[in-house]
Structure 1
Amino acid sequence: MSISATLVKELRERTNAGMMDCKKALEETKGDFDAAIEWLRVKGLSAAAKKAGRIAAEGTVFAQTIGNTGMVVEINSETDFVARNEGFKALVLDIAEHITKAVNVAGDILEHAFHKNPTKKIGEMLTEATAKIGEKIAIRRFEKYTASPNTIVHTYVHGEGKIGVLIEVAASKPEATNNPEMRTFAQDVSLHIAAMNPMAISSAEIPADVVAKEKEVLKAKNLEQGKKADMIDKIVEGQIRKFLAENCLVDQAFVKNPDIKISDLAKEVGKKVGADLTIKRFVRFELGAGIEKKSEDFAAEVAAQMKGH
């Protein structure tokens, strides 16, 4: 039967469920409005929609390597408590497996048909989990690397899902990828990335606007400190070199041995494996980074409630 847009809109306003869910509910109940409300409640879709506006800044960062493919994903929940829920953990594993094994993970992942059950979309899995667990759950970001004949991919998770790193390391000779020393190098560099949070592999990869902005800040800071105007440019030039060294992976002091740089470590291990090693790319996810967490002001909340009494 044909369901009018007006009826779908009315059901959405009443239940706060998604538009497509409301349409499906009315179709399933042959246009019976009250039955459609009950259908949404049974499916848990109404409850899930009401949670959509909440802030999800907890959860986990999960990473894994299967064969020559590595992936890292951040999946958020509202509380750390739910992140330890077995249902949440199972959902994370399913999504991670989908990202790792699905042939194409481009586009909106919520619209992907789940690789183990193509009749269900990833978005539907999240909606069901949200309704069942009782908190908003969201896939914030993910990255996937597939190794080539002369590279390896490696993953590292720090702090029980607080930080995840995915890295690809290249060797000048393909046979070096079978040397365990190369895998150890990838692990050491991943641990370093987790700890030191470099902005880029080398200074060439740091955007020019970022460097320009840093120069502006340093110039103003030096002027504020009373440095001579004719010496400012020279002083800032030295400070920029330091800034780049502190934020570029290959120039950073190795966290496990500050006497050498990451570039020195690559040369040392390269000699052991008989090939030149290059860090091709990496990504670092820190749980909740950049998400503005809601701070509860209980005193203000109580005061607001008391105004009505």
Structure 2
Amino acid sequence: MAFTAADVKNLREMTGVGMMDCKKALTASDGDMDKAVEFLREKGLAASAKKAGRVAAEGMAYAAVIDGVGVVVEVNAETDFVGKNEKFVDFVKGVAATVAANKPADLEALMACKYNGTDLTVEQQQQEMVLVIGENIKVRRFAIFTEGVSVPYIHAGGKIGVLVNLKVEGDIDATAVGKDVAMQIAALNPRFWDKSQVSQDVLDEEKKIMMVQMENDPKMANKPEQVREKIVMGKMNKFYSENCLLQQEFVRGDVFTGSVEQYIADAAKKLGGKITFVDAIRFEKGEGIEKKQENFAEEIAKMVKG
């Protein structure tokens, strides 16, 4: 059966696969559109196994509140270019919607869920995306808040996704407050939310480092140990203000001068209610994934030898 350029175009629109591959599929299936789609799927799924070994450290971190459930997800791709692809972004949003609807216990459970609006599992839909986009794509992690008020924030088009969870008392809208706090978390990435979370081990280690620094400082070395202890205690407040979200200086000095904790209390009072920070999740795209370092000189040398 013969096929036309319009058939190739239609097949491309149906599958998102490149023109040349569509032409090959139609040739192999004698112009039968259904067989051509099947051919591409078989070819694509076979190729996805090879692509699965490739490092996917780009992609998108995404946060949203869907039907009252706060969701943050990270889905990886191999290139930053694909991270901005409309089909990829839609897939990420679909993963978030699936998480909100099913509230899976872990990643394995999520991959077995029916992907939002389809009869395919998330695992199968991920394989479909590999076929359509032509890169290794991987749902990496997710988190949800089902209680309280959640406020999402996405920084730099998906480089960082933050979800802040608040306890709100009184008939007030805490969205603006939550977003300000989320922006602070995105920008400064605090180690702890509150100084109460800092363990004794961490405090002891910090004190030890500070004491050694003073011993090595000629101006401090001769001071009595009790004096140095007092100085260290003073410096610990600086440690809290640098490392603990609620004790940090609120970055939006144009809005409020003081700590994040004070900003939340002040904003809630002005709104006529009470807001308590409960928890937050911060996902940064590709954090902790070892990216492949390309050696272009070596690549060119191999090509020349070949």
Instruction: Give the TM-score of the pair, scaled to structure 1.
Output: 0.75
* Residue aligning to 1:189: 181
* Residue aligning to 2:288: 290
- Structure 2 CA distance for partners of 1:211 and 1:78, relative to 1, 3 Å: farther
CA distance in 2, matches of 1:51, 1:128: 13
Q: Between Structure 1 and Structure 2, how many residues are aligned?
A: 262
* Residue aligning to 1:228: 221
* Correspondence 1:264-279 to 2 at 5 A: 264-279=262-277
Provide, for residues 220-262 of structure 1, a one-character-per-residue CA deviation record: whole Å limited to 9, x for no partner: 4444545528465544443333112211111111111272111
Structure 2: stretches of 5+ with no match in the other structure = 1-37
- Contact kept in structure 1, 2:150 and 2:165, CA below 8 Å: yes
Shift of 1:47: 0.8
CA distance in 2, matches of 1:132, 1:292: 25
CA distance in 1, matches of 2:126, 2:206: 41
Shift of 1:158: 1.2
Provide, for residues 25-78 of structure 1, a one-character-per-residue CA deviation record: whole Å limited to 9, x for no partner: xxxxxxxxxxxxx97972512211111121111111111112421111111111
Give the % identical residues. 35
CA distance in 2, matches of 1:134, 1:216: 52
- Contact kept in structure 2, 1:155 and 1:167, CA below 8 Å: yes
- Structure 2 CA distance for partners of 1:194 and 1:42, relative to 1, 3 Å: same
Instruction: Give the TM-score of the pair, scaled to structure 2.
Output: 0.76
* Residue aligning to 2:97: 97
Secondary structure of 1:268 counterpart: helix
Q: CA RMSD in A?
A: 2.6
Confirm whether residue 245 of structure 1 aligns to residue 237 of structure 2. no
* Residue aligning to 1:205: 197
- Contact kept in structure 2, 1:40 and 1:46, CA below 8 Å: no
* Residue aligning to 1:26: none
Counterpart AA for 1:256: R
Structure 1: stretches of 5+ with no match in the other structure = 1-37
Shift of 1:305: 5.8
CA distance in 2, matches of 1:204, 1:92: 35
- Structure 2 CA distance for partners of 1:107 and 1:56, relative to 1, 3 Å: closer
CA distance in 2, matches of 1:218, 1:303: 51
* Residue aligning to 1:169: 166
Counterpart AA for 1:271: K
* Residue aligning to 2:250: 254
Counterpart AA for 2:165: E
CA distance in 2, matches of 1:116, 1:105: 20
- Structure 2 CA distance for partners of 1:297 and 1:217, relative to 1, 3 Å: farther
